[in-house]
A and B are shown apart, each in its own frame.
Chain A
Amino acid sequence: MPDDSSPAVLDPATRDDWYVVSHASEIQPGVVERTRLLGRDLLVTRAADGTLKAECFDPDGAPVPVERIAERYGFIWVSLGAPRDEILRIPEFAEGGRRLIWRGRIGVAASGQRVIENFFDLSHFSFVHTGTLGGLDAAEVPRYEVEYREEGKELWAVGCSFFQPKASASAAGGASVRYDYRVPSPFICVLYKDSLVRPGMKDLIGLFIQPCEEERCVVHSFALVFDDHRSDTDILHFYHEIFMQDRMILIQQRPLRIPVHPQRERHVVSDASAVAFRRWIARRGFRFGVDDAAA
């Protein structure tokens, strides 16, 4: 069972980050969305003129003003602190041609960073997504590169590739697919994947994680893809199928928080991105949802 106790004081790195707490369409004027963020109660409302407002309450019940709330990419973003950076830029949202599919929310009883780590992990494809994202007879993870970009504020795993029997809802057969993963925050990952129907172009799939508690999160996500044939529901259900296979693994992983101490791990080459992710989280001072014990 997840540990729902939350820290009385948040580490500055976590506090000052931006988090998605809802899809914009879910907060109509007059709706009061009651949710949890970083172990705190959060109320999100929208006035008749469309203005958004959020109120947060500390674990002891004291109200905390929320000054940062914004609508971007169809989602509602909140920061409980004073973010030094803007919400991440995803220029592809302004380009034409792709379909935007809101994939709903899925709850996971594990830390949000565990979900992100699973999202960019390639070696589980053949065993967890057998027949779609991987096959038992082609499980090898080819080498890829890990890079820090934007002065170390973003982690990228680039040049990833994998042979996939059915890489997306629109895939007709198997293909070796190229991936780049962008991790601009421990709770956000955007995947850039070769479009199967538009050569040279990329499909985007993004996870925006709402860390409710240290060991419980809600995954908000989108797909921004080239696909002229499949219905939104077909595409959506393909993703739900894939994500629910991951969820089964995530809720059974221990520890539920992300372990960052080097003595806790025994990695192989294909884990390069996970190793970098854990070091990066520890180095930047994120503590929420982190397990930093040595043993």
Chain B
Amino acid sequence: MRKGYVETPIGQVHYREAGEGPPLLLLHQTAWSSIQFRNAMAPLASRGVRAIAIDTPGYGMSDNFDHPPSIIEYATVLSSVMDGLGLTKASIAGHHTGASIGAAFASRNPARVQKLVMHGVPLYTPERRAERLAQPHFDQTPKADGSHLSSRFQRALGTTPKASLEAVHWSTVNFYVAGPTEWYGHHAAFKYDMAADLTAIKSPTLIISNTGDTLHAMMPQIQKMRPDFTYKTIEGGTFHIVFDDGANWANVVADYIVGVA
């Protein structure tokens, strides 16, 4: 695996890359980083995909916005990332907030998106979005007894009790590495009215959902809106499935990007 930075208007964007073949940009959920794809990179590469996992601005090692950005602003940075990587066209696979960024990008830049994969599409109702936006941010203030870390870990495990402890650990680490603006990604996702962009997508699109994901319930509605999309349901899993089951996830994605092996 190789890592690097791309220059963009908001500063440096960090990425991890593996493999050769058709390029596939991987966009993580909030508040992770490209580490989410750690276990999927080599399997994707072995299937002949050039996998490029991006640290969304404000996460991992990427520079941040100076204000809470919108999903569309994240998508605009993605254009600069593609320019910096010399890619006129690529496939995109986004998970949760990453799926929102993928939808916003694909609907605005149809000529630049070969194929789109969205896993866990956060197509919330306006009521649910307003409710989530009203929730207070988690207090990151460090405590000498380390309880700021263990309490976050406990909460993260509580929302996804079937995930591996390793995944919950790395979600906690990524959350604190993102720092006091860790909520930017969720804020953008809950502000984002995805429905219009979903309707406008012209690229061939695969929707992945796993039955153990909190966003699985949104599948029927998406299917109703876009019966022309391809759908794939994975049994079980959590919203850490990309980290916990990277090899299988990579196969599902590669089957769609380069064809069934």
Judge: A and B partners, yes or no: no
List residues of chain B with CB under 8 Å of any chain A CB: none
